[in-house]
A = this chain, B = another copy of it.
Amino acid sequence: MKRSITLKDIALHFNVSISTVSKALNDSHDISIALKAKIKEYARSNNYRPNPYARNLRKKDNRTIGVVIPNILNYFFAQVFSGIEKVANENGYNLISCISNESLAKEKNTIEILERGLVSGLLISLSEGTEKSGDYEHLKSFADNGIPIVMFDRVTDLVACDKVIIDDFNGAFEATTHLIRTGCKNIAIISPLDNLNIGKQRLKGYLTALEKNGLSPNPNLIIKIFEEELFEAEVRALLTRNRVDGILGLEEFSAINAMKIAMSLGYEIPEDLSIIGFTNGQLPQYVSPRITSVSQHGKFIGEQATHKLIQRIENNKEDSMEEFSTQKLKTSLVIRESTKPLNF
């Protein structure tokens, strides 16, 4: 491992003290313009970079953000991540990224590692395991250290911090209303997310939309899936045992897979059955028919959350005690071919 150039080396070269070099490079007006120029030039041409560990040991400003994402293979989270990366990069922050794999244990472990000064802020979307367990001690303890947290998408009221979420209730409300307006009367909902708060919010939006339109919810049409293996059987049962003319899938795969199953049962889409899914990734645009989807604007969520966090990090220094905020972003319904036209 080749040793890289340090302040000491530069100091030796110019026969000045280390502090002179440090100040020169930090453009202190303690140092003469001529010397500053020489030192900077020498540093540049010798490719000097301050050792980040040494610098952070002294200053508490490490320009690093921790990111904890439940699953990077999920396109929505990949979108969020790309938004995070963009804003972090624009502001000169590095990212330490971890995947919790939907597990509380892994999330805890990760947080513990980051806790000790590795990062000056944390962006996190809760793992399913965490929401299910209701154990948020690791996050509270993290926040107690004074390191700001911004939660996105999957959040909890039980931790005091900034949050960036989408309006899940309203997204589901609008989607369900759209189904009703295009003539659906027996609308089912398929939720593999009932362990998550976002899943519960979406379910509420669905129920409220039914109610507002004078439709009474049918428990047989509310399918909660807790194990992926049961998906096909449950949806098949739903479609064969009940009269269903609309389905709201609470994420990409429930909508798509439900559509495939329905088609294999002879349903015509959207004539016999309309389908709307949450999460507007690549898949809904490529299957046929293309699926009407609730777009969550993943990249934008990532950008907003990161902006908020950086602002919080930089304000933290000045000890301004701004109230925690929750930014609720609008979803938008992207209408495609799996639903009927409005003027039916």
Contact = CB atoms under 8 A, between A and B. Distances in A.
Interface stretch (A23-31, A93-101, A190-198, A215-223): A93-101
Interface string A87-123: 0010000111111000000100000110111100000
Interface of A is mostly: mixed
How big is chain A's contact interface, by range?
35 or more
A56 interface: yes
A44 interface: no
A234 to B, nearest CB: 20
A94 B141 CA distance: 21
Nearest to A64: B96
A330 to B, nearest CB: 22
- Oligomeric state, in copies: 2
Interface in A36-70: 47, 49-54, 56-57, 60, 62, 64
A282 interface: yes
A97 B99 CA distance: 12
Interface in A302-331: 316
Contact of A144 (B2, B118, B141, B144): B2
Interface in A285-302: 286-288
B57 A82 contact: no
Contacts of A283: 282-283, 286
A306 to B, nearest CB: 13
A112 B79 contact: no
A49 B116 contact: yes
A237 interface: no
A94 B118 contact: yes
Contacts of A62: 53
9 contacts: A47-B141, A73-B75, A73-B79, A85-B97, A95-B97, A96-B96, A97-B97, A283-B286, A286-B286
Interface of A: 1-2, 4, 47, 49-54, 56-57, 60, 62, 64, 72-73, 75, 78-79, 81-82, 85, 89, 94-99, 106, 112-113, 115-118, 141, 144-147, 256, 282-283, 286-288, 316
